[in-house]
A and B are shown apart, each in its own frame.
Chain A
Amino acid sequence: MTTPLIKVEGLRKSFNGQPILDGVDFEIYRGESVVVIGQSGCGKSVLLKHIMRLLEPDEGRVIFDGQDIGKLSGRDLNEVRLRIGMLFQSAALFDSMTVAENVGLCLKEMRRHTHAERNRIVMEKLELVGLTDAASKKPDEISGGMRKRVGLARAIATDPEMLLYDEPTTGLDPITADLINDLIIDLTQKLDVTSIAVTHDMTAAYKVASRIFMLYEGKIEFDGTPDEIRASDKATVQQFITGRAKGPIKVR
């Protein structure tokens, strides 16, 4: 595997004149499981949205499997998007549909499966996240943590090659969180899914990651394995992973 699955080059994005991403560069290869950490508001969600091209960069490129996604449109872009699954920080469930319809929507629109096959896949994915009982409920009838898991089931419904998880375990109890972390590890190890997960949970980060990126002041401040990050002598990195309010990073 010599060509990276995802390559981000010189990505810059400002909102209202304030730079959020200020030259982000990285490469991720097939089978890697990357965890992105960083302060709240530092641009982690914005970074994931650029990979799905939900936001247009001010400068820089995102290259997925050799294709510059900034140059794609219409059907070509949709085809790339179908190869990537995304769990939104807010879950972003369709509130007019039931849980099962949410999970099955993408399959339905792909029109490659019979009705029965689709139902089977939907139930299988809901079982993976422990939510078979909620299948016929509407999103506003379930809890925040349940919505997150439905979002996860929806993201993996089409068995994408790559998954983007925006805080998959935030709002979950420790046991359910561990179930989700195991699921993410399983997807990576058994199905060879490449993933980028944003998390604030360092235990989960060490458990899930093959590589950890720390985003700080619009750039990748650190890029290395969990062991390397623990051994890092950068003050910013140590402050963040040990969780101290005092240090070079200021809470804005």
Chain B
Amino acid sequence: MNYGVEAIGRHSVSLISRIGSFFILIGRLIASLREIHRSFGLILEQFYLVGLKSLPVIVVISIFVGAVSAWQAAYQFKFIGAPPRMLGQGVGKAVVMELAPVLSALAFAGRVGAGITAELGTMRVTEQIDALHSMGINPVRYLVLPRVLACLVMMPFLVIFANFVAIMGALVVSIVGVDITYETFLNGFRDSFKVGDFINGLIKAGVFGLVIGVVGCYEGFSTQGGAHGVGRATTTSVVLSMVLILVFNFISAVILFRL
């Protein structure tokens, strides 16, 4: 009995101290913005590694997301006898507002978030982060700032591509598989498309990128216990980012779209 209470106490203390150190890292990150000019080269390098190198994965995922959305929508519409132009409307809304930002972010968490945690975690357990400290180099400025910034900036950029590719995927499926003309689909899409939705999707993407970058760096920096610890930290990083992304996404939907 007592042991249970004690264990709960211990876990909540460690949870609180983890949340505390998470916010300390955020504080240090904000403070390091003053020296951002010193990390210019590193930032560009991360833009390349985090952004451009994620493009192929995002493109492949988006083609199929668009394709399956069109197929499923057409299948459902068949039963309710919805007019064909609704296909472009429905798929367009779903892709631009939810599917492209959320699914890209989940893929990004798996690819980039995991990579960041594994890299920084290895640097932590092999004393490379201590070595940076010992050389008077601020590891937050040197390692965290470029990665978080790259995630923040590149995620919306990737979502622009994801939107475009997913709509193309849906268009192809509509033409080839559903027998809808190119004009019908695009007219439907144009009817429902709002610039506000698109911007909203990009803002969400930026927030998701920020979450992935900060969580990835935090988990990497707080890694303990050798190779096993790196593995554990990487798993935690990906799971935590994914959960946070989905929770934020839901909250933003509830706030923005009052029923």
What residues make up the interface of A, taking CB atoms closer than 8 Å to B?
49, 52-54, 74, 78-79, 81-82, 84-86, 88, 90, 92-95, 105-106, 109-111, 154
Contact = CB atoms under 8 A, between A and B. Distances in A.
A237 B201 CA distance: 70
Interface in B101-145: 123, 126-128, 130-131, 133-138, 142
Contacts of B123: 94
B128 A92 contact: yes
Contacts of A82: 135-136
Contacts of B136: 78-79, 81-82, 106, 109-110
Contacts of B134: 52, 54, 81, 84-86, 88
Query: DSSP class of B's interface residues: helix, strand, loop or mixed?
Result: helix
Contact of A94 (B31, B131, B138): B131
A106 B137 contact: yes
Given A52-B134, A54-B130, A106-B137, 7 more contacts: A81-B133, A84-B134, A88-B130, A88-B131, A92-B130, A106-B135, A109-B135
A138 to B, nearest CB: 14
Contacts of A88: 127, 130-131, 134
A111 B138 CA distance: 15
Given A88-B127, A90-B127, A92-B128, A52 B135 contact: no
A38 to B, nearest CB: 20
B83 to A, nearest CB: 57
B150 to A, nearest CB: 16
B116 to A, nearest CB: 13
A50 B130 CA distance: 12
A106 B134 CA distance: 10
B133 A95 contact: no
Nearest to B125: A90
Interface in B84-109: none
A23 B133 CA distance: 25
7 contacts: A52-B133, A52-B134, A79-B136, A94-B123, A95-B126, A95-B128, A109-B136
Contact of A92 (B31, B127, B142): B127
Contacts of A92: 126-128, 130-131
A135 B138 CA distance: 25
A88 B133 CA distance: 12
Contacts of A49: 130
Contacts of B127: 88, 90, 92
Nearest to A109: B137
A84 B134 CA distance: 8
A211 to B, nearest CB: 23
A111 B35 CA distance: 13
Interface string B18-52: 00000000000001000000100000000000000
A111 B126 CA distance: 26
Contacts of B128: 92-95
Nearest to B135: A106
Contacts of A78: 136-138
The 4 closest A-B pairs by CB, nearest first: A78-B136, A92-B127, A82-B136, A92-B131
Nearest to A84: B134
Nearest to A85: B134
A111 B39 CA distance: 12
Contacts of B31: 74
A53 B130 CA distance: 10
B118 to A, nearest CB: 13
A152 B224 CA distance: 26
Nearest to A79: B136
